[in-house]
Chains A and B, each alone.
Chain A
Amino acid sequence: EVQLVEAGGGLVQPGGSLRLSCAASGFTFSSHYMHWVRQAPGKGLVWVSRINSDESSTIYADSVKGRFTISRDNAKNTLYLQMNSLRDEDTAVYYCGRGILGPAVAFDMWGQGTMVTVSS
C-alpha cells in the first residue's frame, strides 16, 4: 500500500525538543522531494520545510529556521524533523508530504499527521 505514516508527536515543554518521523511505503521514496507542513489548531496549512531526494539541499520557513532540521534516510524510507527550542506557537498537527515528480511544486501524497503540543 502506498502511504506515509507520521510518528513522534506528543506534549513537550517550551524550550524542549522532539523528533518526528514519517515512514514511507509503496513507492520509490528516494526519488521524491519530501516536505513537512503543519496546521495549528483552528488555523490553515503552513509549509515548514523541504528536503531534496539525495539530502543535498534543504530549505525552511523563516518561523522555524535555526530551530528545526529536516533529514531523511533513503535506506529506511523515512523522513525526519528534529525540532529544538520549541515554542507555544509550534503547537500543531505536523504532516509529511511527498513532492510530486517533475518540475511541478505540489504535494501529491500526505500522511495523517502527528500532533505536537508545546505547553508548560
Chain B
Amino acid sequence: EAQVTQNPRYLITVTGKKLTVTCSQNMNHEYMSWYRQDPGLGLRQIYYSMNVEVTDKGDVPEGYKVSRKEKRNFPLILESPSPNQTSLYFCASRRKFETEAFFGQGTRLTVV
C-alpha cells in the first residue's frame, strides 16, 4: 500500500531534550516536505527536499533541522525543543512533476 509513515504519532517531551520525528514513503517520490499545523494558522511549511541531499527552508524553519540521506526517508530533528514547537506535524511527499501531495497521519508533539 502506497503511504507516508510518520513516527511517533504522539510525543510529549521536555524543553531542551533533542528529538527526531521520522518520515518514510514507499512511493519513490522525489519531493518531501514537513509542515506544522496550528489552530487558525493552517499548514505552514518547515523544510522541503527536492531529492537526496537537497534540502531547503520553508516558511517557518527556525528551531528545526532535516536530512535527506535516502530518497525514502526525511527525518525532522528538533535539537532543543521549546514549548512554542508544540504542534501537529505532517510529512508529505509527491512526484516531481505531479501535483498531488500525499500526507502522513501526523505527529502530535507537546513540549513542556
Asked whether A and B interact, the reply is no
Chain B interface (Cβ < 8 Å from any Cβ of A): none
Q: Taking beta carbons and an 8 Å cutoff, which residues of A are in contact with B?
A: none
